[in-house]
Structure 1
């Protein structure tokens, strides 16, 4: 078993982040969210959660104690900004390869997709989430590289007692889904609010049980290879106003731009530059 002294700790050293991702399957980015951004995102998540509860569309799991918020791109400019966070995109590009297709020159935009942008709010008494991999729906055997990756933005201190994510360091090297009983190896990923917990899609993990009376909030930027179907169907769910005002980076991330010369086309053409209404009228 890996010594706790050698496990990833919050760091601002980019080389250390890469080393931790390679060895342990995750890294912890110190102070990824400055205080002003952290406070703004906390308020935005609280507002969004309250709106979902008031409208009767609240999504809960893990024994009814944990609330999930979906398609945050539609819920405020602060979420759109977070989706384009440069360091998160850099880490995702490192894990997913950020490769172009057909030898096309890299245009500087992401060569991968934002599978979803969601929040997970762990409430009191929830049951631990099933230990899983974020690419667990992909049939095995897997290639020797991650097909997806995830970035957890810690909006509160993550501690064992308040439902910190449970994970098994180094499990990404097994390159398979976990089997029953192997969850016993998991440890809580503990770090202060403002930390970015970024991890390989093969890392075994799951939400822990919150035994406190205080909510534990996190936002997850989930990325995938450009040739995969995304968790969130952005084409159907993204608000027209968000799509119309999307930056080139966001358009690429949500699939409103083609990958290479043949993936994500509309009538044989790249959707880049088309308005969303045109997507459904041709």
Structure 2
């Protein structure tokens, strides 16, 4: 199988994205697709998410980022998550941003507890020396993203800057509001797709409820995984592998004769 065969098999075609959507991705570095996930599926995801949170409470992984709850390796945590990394609109957006063969790396979960969640502006992955985009981060919104509950802030058009504010700016500056930042606001079930080089960060959750999101992560197939993200290829479970279609196995880079 190759990338084109995979995309077709998973429902991606030339008209999956409009020309306006493609232009938005190219110029702004991100896009929001509203209500890709229905309410029944959302409820199943929330229920599984909370069950896993309860199971992992008190572990190092759960406490990895102060003021947040975190989950990792969700692609191996139940069939509820299988559809989260093969949505045609999302795959089409990843293909448009990267423009070459790519793979799904992992699916994480994160939410900021009330009063917490503020992050410094940062990018998730280094761009190539030629400015080539190497990775894509997505936000699958399990709850509404509102101005007060810790919605992600982004600075449109910074995905080709070659700068990571968290490392390249003076200490403390990336924590401040940016004059060009906007909030990613959308109803639950929506999905934001953004270049991993785009400057972004969580904002403070000023409500008494949680704001949950899943984070599918993709990269150019030639890229080597490092840092906080696990690599599905190294951690795939037998029962997960057996659920996958041939196209999904190609996407996850786990095409093996036997397992």
Compute the TM-score of the two structures, normalised by the length of structure 1: 0.76
- Match of 2:144? 157
> Mind listing any 5+ residue stretches in structure 1 that lack a counterpart?
1-11, 99-110, 258-270, 277-282
Which protein has the larger Cα radius of gyration, Structure 1 or Structure 2?
1
CA RMSD of aligned residues (A): 2.1
> Mind listing any 5+ residue stretches in structure 2 that lack a counterpart?
1-15
The answer to whether structure 1 residue 242 and structure 2 residue 240 are counterparts is yes
In 2, the alpha carbon distance for the partners of 1:247 and 1:202 equals 30
In 1, the alpha carbon distance for the partners of 2:50 and 2:44 equals 10
The answer to whether structure 1 residue 48 and structure 2 residue 52 are counterparts is yes
Greater RCO, CA 8 A, separation 6+: 2
The answer to whether structure 1 residue 233 and structure 2 residue 223 are counterparts is no
In 1, the alpha carbon distance for the partners of 2:129 and 2:43 equals 39
Q: Residue 114 of structure 1 contacts residue 254 of structure 1 at CA under 8 Å; is this kept in 2?
A: yes
How many Å apart are 1:61 and its aligned residue?
A: 4.2
Q: Secondary structure at the match of 1:125?
A: coil
In 2, the alpha carbon distance for the partners of 1:201 and 1:193 equals 22
More deviation, 229-238/162-171: 229-238
How many Å apart are 1:244 and its aligned residue?
A: 3.0
- Match of 2:13? none
Q: Residue 148 of structure 2 contacts residue 206 of structure 2 at CA under 8 Å; is this kept in 1?
A: yes
- Match of 1:101? none
The answer to whether structure 1 residue 76 and structure 2 residue 78 are counterparts is yes
Q: Residue 29 of structure 2 contacts residue 157 of structure 2 at CA under 8 Å; is this kept in 1?
A: yes
How many Å apart are 1:16 and its aligned residue?
A: 2.6
Q: Which residue of the other structure, out of 160, 171, 190, is the alignment partner of 2:185?
A: 190
Q: 1:62 to 1:166 in 2, by over 3 A?
A: farther
Q: Which residue of the other structure, out of 111, 115, 118, is the alignment partner of 2:108?
A: 118
Q: Deviations over 1:146-198 (max 9, x none)?
A: 10011211111112321111111111132322224255313322211111111
How many Å apart are 1:247 and its aligned residue?
A: 1.4
Q: Secondary structure at the match of 2:57?
A: helix
Q: Residue 49 of structure 1 contacts residue 58 of structure 1 at CA under 8 Å; is this kept in 2?
A: no
In 1, the alpha carbon distance for the partners of 2:206 and 2:68 equals 12
How many Å apart are 1:90 and its aligned residue?
A: 1.3
- Match of 1:87? 89
Q: 1:84 to 1:175 in 2, by over 3 A?
A: same
- Match of 1:254? 252
- Match of 2:27? 23
Q: Secondary structure at the match of 1:92?
A: helix
In 2, the alpha carbon distance for the partners of 1:125 and 1:62 equals 14
Q: Deviations over 1:192-222 (max 9, x none)?
A: 1111111112100112121211010001111
In 2, the alpha carbon distance for the partners of 1:195 and 1:170 equals 21
The answer to whether structure 1 residue 203 and structure 2 residue 198 are counterparts is yes
How many Å apart are 1:14 and its aligned residue?
A: 3.0
How many Å apart are 1:58 and its aligned residue?
A: 4.8
Number of residues of Structure 1 aligned to a counterpart in Structure 2: 233
Q: Deviations over 1:112-169 (max 9, x none)?
A: 1112111111111225123211213x6xx63333100112111111123211111111
Q: Residue 17 of structure 2 contacts residue 93 of structure 2 at CA under 8 Å; is this kept in 1?
A: no
Q: 1:246 to 1:252 in 2, by over 3 A?
A: same
